[in-house]
Structure 1
Amino acid sequence: MSLLQIKDLSLSIHGIEILRRVNLTIAPGEIVAVTGESGSGKSMTALAVMQLMPNGSTATGSILLDGEEVLDLPEDRMCQLRGASVGMVFQEPMTALNPVKTIGDQVMETILIHRAMPRDKAEERAREVLARVGLPPERYPLGRYPHELSGGQRQRVVIAMAIALRPRLLIADEPTTALDVTTQAQIFDLIKGLVREYGMGMLMITHDLAVVADMADHIAVMRHGEVVETAPTRQLLTGMTHPYTKMLFAASEHQVTLPESGSQVPLLAVANVVRDYPLPRTSLFARPGQHRAVDHVSFTLHQGERLGLVGESGCGKSTLTRAILGLQPVQAGHILLDGQPVYTGNKANLAVRRKMQVVFQDPYGSFNPRHRVDRLVTEPFHLLEHPPVGSERRDRIAEMLTAVGLSPDDSGKYIHEFSGGQRQRIAIARALIIRPQLILFDEAVSALDVSVRAQILDLLADLCATYDLTYLFISHDLSVVRTITDRVMVMQAGRIVEQGETEQVFSDPQHPYTEALIAAAPKLPHRRPMNAR
């Protein structure tokens, strides 16, 4: 008997059709993945199962959960099912968790709301499920707050909340998109173990086929609110028939060709850089401890070179990036850009700061939504002593928007009028507009669909040929780093443990940590493995 059966589900919001005749079936102990680009209807299908649809929604068809018709249930009955019969794991754990409540209280909340057991038993269950997801109370007390945990640990708390009452169905909506490859692999192993142990059915939502290749039993591909292809995982990945599925498959392994970079002129020189942070006192009269986030890091980036930086969350990548940008002073060592120090004393050198720009992971969060594109892309002009004005300013905006594949007419629009990929193009235009000598890409494509990511990578390759870009590309996505960089550095616990030409490092890793990263990276079947030529 099916645990979840969705039959001919159609959904419209204020008359706009969102889902069209969706059909899905999940059996107990089965993992079904729904994949597709943003806007394809994946998350809306999951929200329809939970009956958490926005106002103005109209649904037709059938959603049977363990034989009970969900679409006909009143809200009070749905409240009984949510958390108890159906659990949900959201994409971003920090927004799914309450920052002012302890992790123990948040795991117990579902138990207490459903009055499944008294508080002392609920606390015992919270300890049990937190231990089950890899957060034993002796190391991670129930009194900790979300901000005291890493991204992977927070996601484990969200999973613990979802399974506290051992629901029959677990829905996971992009649960590992923002996580590094080793943490991602740990979360996948955890979820698969929970499905086997509890006999749950699972609906896994993702935009990346490689992520579910070794996890899902069945895959459904959605486009424009429809399921265009569905089959058992191995059958679909090796014998896909729909052009859209083939496009997603190709985009997951998209490769670009960078222009040759033969320059040996040093641009960025980082020498023995150390960055420490103070730790809280362990007692009233104890000295505060020190956490070394960057530990004697040294490297050189040449003009026209594309350098990658990879490593797990917490390894020091972002701290090093902030130091290079002059946003945080360092305790030891020095950073030179074009022979000039990034810091003069403990202050950033503005003359050097003008020569660098950064592209962030979340393009929407890095823009002011109240400003139009022409103002957004010209924000770096405030760094210039004599910023362009009048027709020169308009021409520069038009040139940059055209360079990133947009129209000069887009300058009068607001950022919410663009897709995620277009926003990232605008972010790149903003970084290029003052012609910096160095650009830092901080997880610039990790949140994008595979097809949009492929377009952005093609754009970067074209810009390298046109503008001779020099950049430091920070990412946890090894497949992206492999195709978009000339050299790569691997960072662990604040140190660079391996560096060299990108293909050489990926093909023949010398450090055990590099080998572990490559082994943890998700791969599609019948393709060249990451550590083989």
Structure 2
Amino acid sequence: MSLLKIDNLSLAIHGQPILDDVSMEVAPGRILGVIGESGSGKSMTAFSVLQLLPDGAACSGGITLSGKDILSLSEAGLCGLRGRDVGMVFQEPMTALNPLKTIGDQVAETILVHERVSRSAAMDRAAQALRRAELPQDRFPLSRYPHELSGGQRQRVVIAMAIALRPKLLIADEPTTALDVTTQAQILDLLKRLVAEDGMGLMLISHDLAVVADLADDLVIMKEGQVVESGPARDLFRSLSHPYSRALLEASGHVPERTGTPAQTPLLQVCDVVRDYTGHSHGWWGRSTRFRAVDGVSFEIRKGESLGLVGESGCGKSTLTRAILGLEEVQGGEILFDGAPVFTHHHANVAVRRRMQVVFQDPYGSFNPRWKVDRLITEPFHLLDTPPKGRDRSDAVAEALESVGLSAADGGKYIHEFSGGQRQRIALARALIIRPDLIILDEAVSALDVSVRAQVLDLLADLGSRLGLTYLFISHDLGVVRSITDRVLVMKAGKIVEEGPTGAVLDQPRHPYTQQLVAAAPVLPVQAT
């Protein structure tokens, strides 16, 4: 018996086809994985179930939930269904939550909208929902605000909002994309437990086959608004027949071809670095506490080497990165770049700073949307004593864009005119334009589709070989770290707890924390034959 049945659904927005003859089912107590890249139509399929569609959208076909025809419901009927019968978990919890309201108020709001209960009763039920989402009130009071929680904890708040009324169907749209590997595993385990406890159906949307490999009972693979393959997950993984499905599986485990051997000469030396922050004071006259974010960290990166740095959120990776880039001075130890200190007389050494660049996780967020690409990628010129001008500047822009697989003409466009993968290429062009020796990649591919991620990793490998670049690759994705790095450092609570050749560390981890990270990493299904 089907809980949700989508039958030959087609969707057009202002006459532009988006979905074409899409069919899928979710049964009570079962998990349906909907897989596809950006633009495949998976999220629009989910929004069609809730009828949260933009103006100009027109649906045909059928959508039924427990026998109820969704497409024939009035807006009032749909409002009664959203939140009560169907819960929704979005990809980015910080945008799904109201920063001005406490987590208790936000979960209780779902209850107050749908049921005539007192505020105190709603708050009691909100506390119960948060407890079920593994946020017990003794550790996470209802009075907390979203900014006081970690990314994984915020996602649990969103899940608590979605399950507060024990819906029949839960839709989770990329709920773990930006989370570190252990938090991702915890969220997926939580969703699986809630499905088992409540007998609800779960539609789990993801661009990564590995994420749903051990979780989904059934699987639908979408491409360009169509279902190209579907069936029970275990059977489907063993007999993928569509070329697109097989390409997704291969891209998930893609290993770029890398050439060249790192030199023995160290380029970056981090020596016993310590970085403290001032915490909250206790009372009016109490002394402020000190929090040690980086605790005696030492390592080096050789010229031409790719070094991975892995660890959960809050382990100190970002603090260490800012110190290496000369953005935060350390209280102890020293950082040397090619023998020169990163800081001199409490100021960043500009001569060193210009030889390092960084690529961030969210390229769109790191660009000014009002500037054209040619201006965006020349931002690092401010580090040069005599920045190029006129024709030399135009040639530098063209060379940087072409080196990452774009054209010189793209310099005249705005950043919103590009896809996510193209934006990340532009971020790489910005990093390359002053020809640095070291590029720090901070979760640079974590939000990309698997095929785009494979292309960017190939590009990084090629650039590293051609230009002799050195990489510090920060990532929570152990598969990416394995494929692109020579050595890896594992960081926990401000300390390096394990280091060594990437394959050796990830295949035979010695430290319990590393073992925990490796165990939590999603495993690809057996290669289809």
Asked whether 1:382 is paired with 2:382, we answer: yes
Within 5 Å, give how 1:56-71 maps onto structure 2: 56-71=56-71
The Cα shift of 1:116 comes to: 4.9
- Worse-matched range after superposition: 391-400 or 428-437: 391-400
Q: Distance in 1 between matches of 2:130 and 2:346?
A: 43
Contact 1:277/1:292 (<8 A) preserved: yes
Match of 2:491 in 1: 491
Superposed, 1:35-50 pairs within 5 Å as: 35-50=35-50
Cα distance in structure 2, aligned partners of 1:128 and 1:283: 32
Whether 2:276 is the aligned partner of 1:250: answer no
Q: Give deviations 1:326-365, integer Å, cap 9, x for gaps.
A: 1112111111111111112332222211111000001111
- Distance, in Å, in 2 between the alignment partners of 1:523 and 1:193 is 20
- Residue in 1 that maps onto 2:199: 199
The answer to whether the Cα contact below 8 Å between 1:487 and 1:500 also exists between their aligned partners in 2 is yes
Check whether the contact 1:257–1:483 (CA below 8 A) recurs between aligned residues: no
Matches within 5 A, 1:126-165: 126-165=126-165
Partner of 1:350: 350
- Which segments of 5 or more consecutive residues in structure 2 lack a partner in the other structure? none
Q: Is the contact made by 2:240 and 2:246 (CA closer than 8 Å) also made in structure 1?
A: yes
For 1:234 and 1:264, locate their aligned partners in 2 and report how far apart those are by CA, in whole Å: 47
Which amino acid is 2:145 matched to? Y
* Structure 2 CA distance for aligned equivalents of residues 170 and 325 of structure 1: 43
Measured against aligned partners, the alpha-carbon deviations of 1:346-388 in whole angstroms (never above 9, x if no partner) come to 3222221111100000111111111111111111111101111
Corresponding residue of 2:296: 296
In 2: Cα distance, 1:33 partner to 1:54 partner: 24
Counterpart CA distance in 2 for 1:329 and 1:149 is 26
Match of 2:461 in 1: 461
Residue aligned with 1:514, SS: helix
Q: Do 2:249 and 2:527's aligned partners in 1 also have CA atoms closer than 8 Å?
A: no
Secondary structure in structure 1 of the residue aligned to 2:326: coil
Shift of 1:441: 0.2
The CA deviation string for residues 65-101 of structure 1, in whole angstroms up to 9 with x for no partner, is 1111111111111111111100000000111111111
The superposition leaves residues 418-444 of structure 1 with CA deviations (integer Å, 9 ceiling, x where unpaired) of 111111011101100100111100000
- 364-373 vs 425-434, which moves further: 364-373
TM-score calculated relative to the size of structure 2: 0.98
User: 286-295 or 81-90, which moves further after superposition?
Assistant: 286-295
Q: Secondary structure at the match of 2:123?
A: helix
CA distance in 2, matches of 1:448, 1:474: 15
Residue 410 of structure 1 corresponds to 410
Q: Which residue of 2 aligns with 1:471?
A: 471
* Contact 1:342/1:352 (<8 A) preserved: yes
Q: Distance in 2 between matches of 1:49 and 1:84?
A: 14
Residue 216 of structure 1 aligns to a residue whose secondary structure is coil
Q: Deviations over 1:87-122 (max 9, x none)?
A: 000000111111111111111010011125322221
| More moved, 393-402 vs 467-476 | 393-402
What's the % identity of the aligned pairs? 65
CA deviation profile, 1:115-156 (whole Å, cap 9, x unmatched): 253222211111111111111100111101111111011100
Distance in 2 separating the partners of 1:392 and 1:422: 24
Within 5 A, what are the aligned runs for 1:315-464? 315-464=315-464
Is contact 2:93–2:154 with CA below 8 Å preserved after alignment? yes
Matches within 5 A, 1:120-269: 120-269=120-269
- Tell me the SS of whatever aligns to 1:280: strand
Count of paired positions = 528
Q: Cα RMSD between the aligned structures?
A: 1.1
Structure 1: gaps of 5 or more residues: 529-533
* TM-score, structure 1 normalization: 0.98
Instruction: Compare 195-204 and 127-136 and name the one that shifted more.
Output: 127-136
CA offsets, 1:298-335, max 9 Å, x none? Answer: 11111111100000111111111111111112111111
Q: Deviations over 1:249-291 (max 9, x none)?
A: 0000001122232311111111111111111123222111111
CA distance in 1, matches of 2:146, 2:281: 20
Aligned to 2:517, the other structure's residue is in SS state: helix
Within 2, Cα distance between the matches of 1:40 and 1:397?
A: 33
Distance in 2 of aligned mates of 1:318 and 1:116:
46
Shift of residue 401 of structure 1?
A: 1.2
Contact 1:91/1:173 (8 A) holds in 2: yes
